[in-house]
Amino acid sequence: MSTHAFELVDTIRRSIGPHRTVWGTKWLGDRLAWEFYFYDYERREREVSISRVLEAIRPIVPCEVPVNERLPYFMFSLDFDHDLMEGVKAMDMAHMYVGNPGSIVSSGIAYALTADSTTLENFYFFFDASRQLQEASEKIYCSAFVDASKMELDRILIPELRDCHTICVANKRNNDTVYFSGVNVDQLLFFLTLLEYPRDLVAFVEQHRANLDHLLFDVGFDYITHGSNLTFIKSGYYGVF
């Protein structure tokens, strides 16, 4: 990642304060990228808005995506990679998340915002890992991308990661996603190894395991199946700064 990334993190902290940004490190199979998430459940009365963050980072990463701050979003996210941080390309998209009234579980809907359009991206459904494992299983199998007669659930709802706080299942345009929220550092290492993250990154977590042992992380992956074959499209792990 570009050295400008450190400046970006410091700028966001100064703008909205510490511990208010969720960072996600994404593994795209051949390269790493970041996505930062910002929550403010006050919605229209929010303090942390898309406009505020975009204005704060404008000297580093300018973005001209128009935002209607009257919309009742509770979260948004921004994507960063090396080319963006080095000025090779411009930031041309933000992701906005709104609620999903009527769902029997906590749920959200994501939209992609660009200069020209607002596009539906994903539906998210959140399940208590200790009480709603069956419901999460049913949600995973209720998909156009998974044939329950051929795909074993444990390959998606991975037993080593189920001992977490929340399981999130997302339906996206071209694939599905599952997230495990509130995993410990040993589960994080299992995840990084399973998803074949760069060896130096895994080694860093192994080396600093004792210093990371008091933290909890989120992990997740996009996947698609063909019969009994499971393909991980991309994945990510998450924390807070």
Please indicate, yes or no, if residue 161 is contained in any of the structural domains. yes
Chain segment 31-77, per-residue pLDDT in tens:
999 999 999 999 999 999 999 999 999 999 999 999 999 999 999 99
Please indicate, yes or no, if residue 217 is contained in any of the structural domains. yes
76 and 166, same domain (yes or no): no
Chain segment 79-135, per-residue pLDDT in tens:
999 999 998 899 999 999 999 999 999 999 999 999 999 999 999 999 999 999 999
Decide if pLDDT at 27 tops 90.
Answer: yes
Decide if pLDDT at 187 tops 90.
Answer: yes
**Alpha-carbon span 136 to 92, nearest angstrom:** 34
Show the DSSP H helices in the chain as ranges. 4-16, 50-57, 82-85, 133-141, 159-162, 185-194, 199-207, 209-212
Contact (CB, 8 A) for 45 and 55: no
First CA to last CA distance, the chain? 17
Question: pTM for the whole thing?
Answer: 0.95
The pLDDT of residue 1? 60
The pLDDT of residue 4? 85
Domain that holds residue 214: 126-241
Please indicate, yes or no, if residue 114 is contained in any of the structural domains. no
132 and 230, same domain (yes or no): yes
Instruction: Give me the torsion for CA of 42, 45, 51, 54, rounded to 10°.
Output: -40
79 and 179, same domain (yes or no): no
Q: Is 192 left (phi over 0), alpha (psi -120 to 50) or beta?
A: alpha
Quick check: helix, strand or coil at residue 230?
A: strand
